[in-house]
Amino acid sequence: MTTVLRVEKLNKRFYDLRALQDVDINVEKGELVGIMGPNGSGKTTFLNCVTGILQSTAGRVYFHGNDITGWSTSHIHIAGISRTFQIVQLFPEMTVLDNMIGAIQESEGSMIGRLLRISEKKECDKALELLEFLKIAHLRNEYAKNLSYGQQKLLDLGMALMSDPSLIMLDEPLAGVNPTLGNEIMEHILRLIDERSCTAVIVEHNAKVMLSVCDRVVVLSAGKKIADGSPMDIQKDPEVIKAYFGA
């Protein structure tokens, strides 16, 4: 298999707090890898360090074999890693279509410049195709602020896909979403991997969903990796049981 992401001995310290401690994680092409753990275990910090939002204290990050440690968020995005956030990152006073166009990341040009080119057929077609994929194309002229929270989550996912990433990192995509729409979001994520040759890392508190859909699950506790394996193995791991239930 082809390794898309390789993280070696990743550490992150906030003053005296060791948020990540020597975390090693590999992600292979086409995998859906889940990252689980109790609150404060370092899940979001891991995503932030990989995507350049935070600079790691130590360790290396390799993407398709290239060392991207210390790269800026924009350069990592251009290289092919995209992400979503726990709290959706939208432009509330803009339409759904404008949000999609505005999400295109380029090495040159300002946001204003990109929006002024909204009439360019290629960009519009791409945005509409993704909105169709996510089944929210009928909302393309609606303001983002008027969408339900679940629809905003779908729009956030669509915006992350506008750069054609080979790896997408999803931070709690089901948080605050009703179960029906949550199932729909997971279906889109699985279709994304299957139909668009994408690889995904997902952080999610819903253990039931994670253990039912992920190819592999990594469990963090107090900044350390305590387990890495199939969902079946994870459910039986004594360290995982202890971290979640204190037993």
pLDDT digits (tens, 9 = 90+) for 165-196: 999 999 999 888 888 888 889 999 999 888 87
Last residue of a domain, one of 160, 189, 205: 160
CB 163 within 8 A of CB 107: no
φ and ψ at 128, to 5 degrees? Answer: -65, -35
Q: Judge if 70 and 169 occupy the same domain.
A: yes
Radius of gyration over every alpha carbon of the chain, rounded to an integer in angstroms: 18
pLDDT of 87 reads 86
pLDDT of 242 reads 84
Q: With b meaning 16 or more CB within 10 Å and e meaning fewer, what string describes 93-119?
A: ebbbbbbbbbbbbeeeeeeeebeeeee
Instruction: Give how many domains the chain has, as a whole number.
Output: 2
Domain extent for 20 = 3-80+165-245
Q: Mean pLDDT highest for which of 35-44, 62-71, 206-215?
A: 62-71
* Residue 87 is assigned to a structural domain of this protein: no
Asked if the model's pLDDT at residue 113 lies above 60, the reply is: no
Q: Judge if 13 and 75 occupy the same domain.
A: yes
Q: Judge if 75 and 170 occupy the same domain.
A: yes
Q: Judge if 170 and 74 occupy the same domain.
A: yes
Last residue of a domain, one of 122, 142, 160: 160
d(CA 124, CA 222): 44
Q: Judge if 149 and 171 occupy the same domain.
A: no
d(CA 158, CA 4): 21
* Residue 118 is assigned to a structural domain of this protein: yes
Last residue of a domain, one of 128, 160, 192: 160
Q: Which helix (H) or strand (E) holds 155?
A: helix 149-161
